[in-house]
């Protein structure tokens, strides 16, 4: 039981109302779509509700992976923890500057 509790440490309760971004985050969550099972376990944990299913046109499969709406992400790391501890290991947290350079996306 103690081991189990330690395993789930850092995974918050689900929030009732999604919040909104207030400042530029230090980290960005990026889903490795090749590793994501599309289970959507991470989705309700996001405090700003910015995880969505990849449009079905991109993957012709019954359960597509998820993606992050980067402009709304606050870099809280909850999704990465949830994915690693409860399901798979498909989300990486990347420093925002590195993210902007790699993906040529400017985060405000």
Instruction: Give the footprint of ligand SF4 on this chain (CB under 6 A).
Output: 29, 31, 36-42, 46, 48, 50-51, 65-66, 68, 73-79, 82-83, 87-88, 90-91
DSSP 16: S
3-state helix, strand, coil in the chain (%, to 5): 25, 15, 60
Nearest to 69 by CA among 87, 42, 48: 48
The residue among 69 and 101 lying less far from ligand SF4, judged by its C-beta, is 69
Beta carbon of residue 81, minimum distance to ligand SF4 (angstroms, whole number): 9
Beta carbon of residue 49, minimum distance to ligand SF4 (angstroms, whole number): 8
């Amino acid at each position: 039981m103690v081991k189990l509790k330690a395993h789930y440490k850092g995974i918050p309760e689900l929030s009732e109302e999604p919040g909104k971004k207030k400042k530029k985050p230090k980290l960005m969550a990026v889903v490795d779509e090749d590793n994501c099972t599309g289970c959507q376990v991470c989705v309700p944990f996001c405090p700003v509700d910015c995880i969505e299913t990849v449009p079905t046109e991109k993957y012709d499969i019954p359960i597509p992976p998820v993606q992050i709406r980067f402009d709304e992400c606050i870099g809280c790391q909850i999704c990465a923890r949830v994915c690693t501890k409860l399901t798979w290991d498909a989300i990486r947290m990347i420093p925002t500057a590195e993210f902007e350079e790699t993906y040529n996306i400017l985060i405000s």
